[in-house]
Homo-oligomer: A and B are copies of this chain.
Amino acid sequence: MTEKPLILVTNDDGINAPGIRALIEVMNTLGTVYVVAPDSPQSGMGHAITLDSMLFAEKLENTDGPQTEFSCSGTPADCVKIAIRQLLPRKPDLCVSGINHGSNASINVIYSGTMSAAIEAGIEGIPSIGFSLLNYSWNANFEASKTFVKTIAKQVLEHGLPDGVVLNTNIPNKDVEAIKGIKICRQAKANWVEKFDKRKNPQGKEYYWLTGEFVNLDQGKDTDEWALENDYVAVVPIHFDLTAHHFINELRTWELNPKNNKQ
């Protein structure tokens, strides 16, 4: 590549989160960086988009490096859409999202704003990676993450990714020396068992707080959860063709047509 790669950086914790600042720092060593990220935290936003309201996207004048930055009032998916269609000089060569403060492994990928931004870029045909650190704290230490982020991003810039595939990368909350390496994994079959903490407001109206416990019943050693528990960085290639191809033939044997007309 004669021209430096153009890299879009986004996240769901908001443009001021330490995780995205670490990601910007690494990407500045790999290419020309545009940041388009939410102006406020958007965790748990899933793949929400803003259909019923306007969006603000404001260019920030004083940045801490060579990158160009826009703060956007929308969701992570909105940020990617407006970046690609409106704010960037051309289609980027890479989109990176994160580094999320907290895990997006296993079923968390479904709820994740970080991953929805990465998927949105993937839908647009842009090689795209989501990065998450297994530490929910705002003051998490991203030093070890930077090493792995750089290697993975460089490889994606070099190889590209197949059409429709995005990488979901989760990083153990450890020093770099304690991390054993990178494992390519499948998404563990795990879920959240929620509890609702029921309270009453001063007017006597009931309300609830959502709490939950993460339960991993997947015994496989090829899962992201196994890798993370064993001090590996977990990389899961994901796609957004949700078709359960394995069930199509059986479903075709059902008596689904109310009028008994054959397919």
Contacts and interface: CB of A to CB of B under 8 A. Distances in A.
A91 to B, nearest CB: 12
Contacts of A239: 242-244, 247
A34 B2 CA distance: 61
Contact of A184 (B191, B199, B251): B251
A216 interface: no
Contacts of A232: 263
Given A48-B48, A155-B255, A240-B107, A54 B150 contact: no
Interface stretch (A16-24, A25-33, A38-46, A92-100): A38-46
A78 to B, nearest CB: 7
A88 interface: no
Q: Chain copies in the assembly?
A: 2
A224 B218 CA distance: 32
Interface string A39-83: 001011111111110111110000000000000000001100110
A159 B207 CA distance: 37
A140 interface: no
B46 A124 contact: no
A162 B257 CA distance: 21
A77 B247 contact: no
A251 B86 CA distance: 33
Contacts of A152: 256
Interface in A111-160: 111, 116, 119, 123-124, 147-148, 150-152, 155, 159
A229 interface: no
Contacts of A256: 151-152, 155, 182, 184, 235
B48 A45 contact: yes
Given A184-B252, A237-B247, A247-B237, A43 B51 contact: yes
Interface of A: 41, 43-52, 54-58, 77-78, 81-82, 85-86, 107, 109-111, 116, 119, 123-124, 147-148, 150-152, 155, 159, 161-162, 164-165, 168, 180-184, 186-187, 189, 191, 194-196, 198-199, 205-210, 232, 235-245, 247-248, 251-252, 254-259, 261-263
* 9 closest residue pairs by CB, A with B: A46-B47, A46-B46, A238-B242, A239-B244, A237-B244, A44-B51, A186-B243, A46-B48, A237-B247
29 contacts: A41-B52, A44-B50, A46-B47, A47-B111, A49-B210, A54-B199, A55-B196, A55-B207, A55-B209, A56-B208, A81-B210, A82-B196, A85-B195, A86-B198, A109-B242, A124-B191, A152-B256, A164-B244, A181-B257, A183-B263, A184-B248, A184-B251, A187-B241, A187-B242, A236-B242, A237-B247, A238-B243, A239-B242, A242-B242
